[in-house]
Chain A
C-alpha cells in the first residue's frame, strides 16, 4: 500500500513526474491552479508502489509519498 499527495498549488505542470513514474499512473489533469498551471494527478492509486521517483524528479517539492 502506498500513496502520493500532489500539492496542486505548488505544481507547475512541468510533467516530469509523468515521465518518471514507472507505472505510468501520473497524468496531467484538466484542472488549472491559481497560477494558471495544469497540474499533475495520479490515476489508479492502487498501482502506486511508493517508489518516490515522482517526488525525486519534482522540481517544486510538490509531492509527498506515504508507504
Chain B
C-alpha cells in the first residue's frame, strides 16, 4: 500500500535527487570564485548553473517529468 504513496518513478526520484545535489546542502562559498581568501577553494558555480539550466529546460520540455 505504501507504494501508492511513495512514488518510485525514476523520473521523479531523479529530478528530486538532482534538485538536492545541485542546489541544496552545505555551500562552501556563496559566489562563483576561483579562490577564496587563503584557502584556495575552487567552486565550479558557472558549470553547475549551466547544468541546472539544462535540467530546467528538460523539465519544461517534458523530457524529465510531465506534471
Partners in one complex: no
B residues whose Cβ falls under 8 Å from a Cβ of A: none
